[in-house]
Amino acid sequence: MAEEDYSVNKLMRNSVRFADLYNGTVFRGKQVLKPEDLSDVPDENGIAIVGLDGKRRLIRRSRDVIKKASFGAYFVLLAEENQDKVHYAMPVRSMLYDALEYTEQVEALKRRHRECGDRLEGDAFLSGITRDDRIMPVVTLTVYYGAKPWDGPRSLYDMLEMDRDSKEWEALKEVLPDYRLNLVELNNMRHLERFRSSLQPIFTVLQYNRRDKRKFYEYLENHRDELRQLDDDSVRAMLALLGEQKRLLRMLELPGGEGKERMDVYNAIDELIADGREEGKAEGKAEGKAEGRVEGKAIGLELGQKRVNELILLLARAGRTQDLIRAAGDREYQEKLFEEFGI
């Protein structure tokens, strides 16, 4: 949905959370990437190609989030794509995004040489760049927050139709590069303690909501004050990921200043907790009724068995073997015997 995409993308565009995402996943909790070392770059790239029909076409793609990161004297382009649905061509899609970034860097080098009036000769003239020119690495994380498990391909190899046991495949692998999808599945993510921003409570709430409703509402109750201190973008993203679209729309549409927005945040958190209490009461009543039915059934079975045992003893003492045999297969006759003996 548009509101969900907007809220999640806005959440990740924040440099603190973006750095936290990479530190918590790629760098496994080490604080390698610092928010102040990140800068925004254009999130749209395109390239003109000539199709099989001879017509010129422009391929244009927009990133969800992309930033330039400084690692000392070097720079890296770090990107993030948000997915609420499984995309069965995601490795190719991600590869295209990265290829466009690399292409744009090469074109930028060419423009710089032209603008500087550099006289390129030989192979450099043909390439438009020199042997010493370098481009920045590009890394893309695909963050999947859908409800169903990711059952799509995780690499380019997963999409190729080949006999993996064949000799041809073994030979082709030597010359056919794979492209791995850097997939982050929020439902299966472990070590949430590695995150230090609002991503930690958001990811925790999302996992509990999908796996265990009781733990979900317990977490909301126990961390109420902490959740109420989240910034507006974090709360809106959390509501979007939880599927709380009505509350999300209400927060987005209500006018007011900063104080009003804070009150909307408080109300949204408190309403979720209230929902948990009501749902807990309903579940408690349902469980109580179910337990009562089970217990009642068990008591009934126990009492019924006592009546039958008593009837067997009385008939055996009276030597009424035929009545005993008949009562075993005739429920109506058994009831008459119960009445006869006053059981």
pLDDT one-digit tens code per residue, 7-35:
899 999 999 999 999 999 999 999 999 99
Q: Are residues 15 and 156 in the same domain?
A: yes
In 3D space, the residue among 241, 202, 242 whose CA is nearest the CA of residue 5 turns out to be: 241
Q: Are residues 284 and 232 in the same domain?
A: yes
103: in domain: yes
Of the spans 170-179, 222-231, 252-261, which averages the highest pLDDT? 170-179
Q: Are residues 211 and 174 in the same domain?
A: no
pLDDT at 254 over 70: no
Q: Are residues 104 and 152 in the same domain?
A: yes
45: in domain: yes
pLDDT at 126 over 60: yes
Q: Are residues 22 and 132 in the same domain?
A: yes
pLDDT one-digit tens code per residue, 63-95:
999 999 999 889 999 999 999 999 999 999 999
pLDDT score for 257: 44
Please, where are the H alpha helices in the chain? 2-13, 15-25, 90-115, 123-127, 167-172, 199-211, 213-222, 224-228, 232-242, 245-253, 258-317, 321-329, 331-341
Amino acid letter, 334? Q
CA 224 to chain centroid, in Å, comes to: 23
Q: Are residues 177 and 247 in the same domain?
A: no
pLDDT one-digit tens code per residue, 309-337:
676 667 667 777 676 667 666 778 777 87
Q: Are residues 117 and 47 in the same domain?
A: yes
Instruction: Work out the burial of residue 322: count CB atoms within 10 Å of its CB; fewer than 13 is exposed, 13-18 middle, 19 or more buried.
Output: exposed
pLDDT one-digit tens code per residue, 142-179:
999 998 999 999 999 999 999 999 999 999 999 999 99
332: in domain: no
Name the pTM for this structure. Answer: 0.74
pLDDT at 259 over 50: no
210: in domain: yes
For the chain, give the mean pLDDT: 83
Nearest-angstrom CA–CA distance, 159 and 204: 32
Q: Are residues 26 and 73 in the same domain?
A: yes
Q: Are residues 255 and 222 in the same domain?
A: yes
pLDDT score for 1: 56
Nearest-angstrom CA–CA distance, 56 and 49: 6
How many distinct structural domains can be found in the chain?
2
Q: Are residues 52 and 137 in the same domain?
A: yes
Q: Tell me if 78 sits within 8 A of 139, measured CB to CB.
A: yes
Q: Are residues 78 and 122 in the same domain?
A: yes
pLDDT at 260 over 90: no
Which range marks the domain in which residue 158 is found?
A: 1-162+169-191
Q: Are residues 53 and 187 in the same domain?
A: yes
The residue to which tokens 């927005």 are assigned = 261
